[in-house]
Amino acid sequence: MVSINELKRINSYEWEIPQSYRADMQVPVRIFASEELLKGVTRDKSLEQAVNACSLPGLVGSVMVMPDMHQGYGFPIGGVAATKYPQGVISPGGIGYDINCGVRLLGSRLSYQEIKPYLDELATALNQFCPSGVGKSGHFRLSTREVEDVCRDGSRWAKKKGYASDQDLRRTEEGGRIQGADPHYLSPRALKRGTNQVGSLGAGNHFIEIDLVAEIYDHQAAQVMGLREGDLALQIHCGSRGLGHQVCSDYVKSLQGAVHRYGIELPDRALVCAPLESPEGEAYLSAMGCAANYAFANRQVLSHYAREAFESVLAGKVSDWHLFQVYDVAHNIGKIETHQIGGKSTQVCVHRKGATRAFGPGADDLPSEYKKIGQPVLVPGSMGTSSWVLRGTEEAMERSLGSCCHGAGRVMSRTQAKKSIRGEDLRKQLNNDGIYIRAGSMAGLAEEAPAAYKDVDLVVDTVIGAGIAAKVARLKPLVVIKG
């Protein structure tokens, strides 16, 4: 177990486990955390997992962990790592089981005062229009060929079906479509699991939330994003559902053989990987792209039905119920990107697991309006607490591979949360706070209680202090839909 005393302090918000800590480390670990948050990191094995990840072949820079870090499968959640492309490796554990779990933010011109009488009705409509829960089906029953189309085209598939606008796609990471995705690399089981879940939320920490834009910190950036203090916004947090989980399961199993074939030694079999230029590595990268595209389409379809829910409740009662896209960004994904590493422009495969891309001003991959201010970075809080809209910075490009935190980060396992928190008590507390809740089960509600998470404000203050993001707006929850 890594001790806090063994960390090298870089500044108030950055710490390092040097490469010399263990003989098999290819690079150091860089930790973004305040002193207060650092006190809790030894409660789990996240730092040990980060050290283990440093053994992967072809790593460049450092393995980074964000302040919302906690223990995951193989890699810590909140981890960022880059391997040289194509000589390095790709590891499913560095991306996670819920491939392209991400967040979409929609804005509105609805003020809190005009919408307040309809919040309860809106909660019910969203819960009906946007299916949620374990194994819950979406709005479609697709054939295998149609699932393959979703996996190739992502949000573009949704646009062809009439569920997306040009702005929706333009304001989605990668335009809502990862190139190189080939359904040939998906198992029959993965394809089957994708037939009925497009347009569904799932369970766990996934949610749809109506928020109040409570406070603006950067008026220029907020204006570009279309956010106004006192107006409503809507967040959607979900991923690739059963299809993505199956992709990860399939390749974690199949790549165990690749590790032996290519003579790769690992301290933890959960770090299983394959060289990017090997047939196995190319197969996983393509399959992962399929799952990522499925997730983009899923969030896009959910956006469409959220808009329909708003229209069903508000038509004839308010002048403008339209929800416009602010941004959609992944936080469980592997991407081929070009970064400055050691002063050289280097093509790398960036693994982000529970970490959000946070590209700064001028980045080529951003819509023209966001090139001026940097990419919107969406950081949802725990249920019942604030969420944050940030923007990427030039410093993030230089120091964190254009990456930032993705949420609050757990301090309590789901099992622990259910043992210590009663869902019914939590629901009453949230209702007393003026938050309308729709949840599939009280046990599921307890799993996601605010007490199970770190303080998201401390997490955000850390990335702001480190300079890898800047505050734009704080969101306050009004309605929460949980599976």
- List the catalytic residues: 406
Distance CA 62, CA 79 (A): 11
Cα angle vertex 14, ends 18, 86, to 5°?
A: 60
What token pair was written down for 295? 């997730």
Contacts with 364 (C-beta within 8 Å, 6 or more apart), sequence order: none
Beta strands in 71-118 (DSSP E): 77-84, 89-90, 102-111
* 3-state SS, residue 337: strand
Q: Which of 254, 259, 260, 284 has its CA nearest to residue 273? A: 259
By the 8 A CB rule, do 418 and 443 touch? yes
Burial class (CB in 10 A: 0-12, 13-18, 19+), 361: middle
What token pair was written down for 376? 């919107």
Distance CA 300, CA 195 (A): 16
Position 208: which residue type?
I
* 3-state SS, residue 426: helix
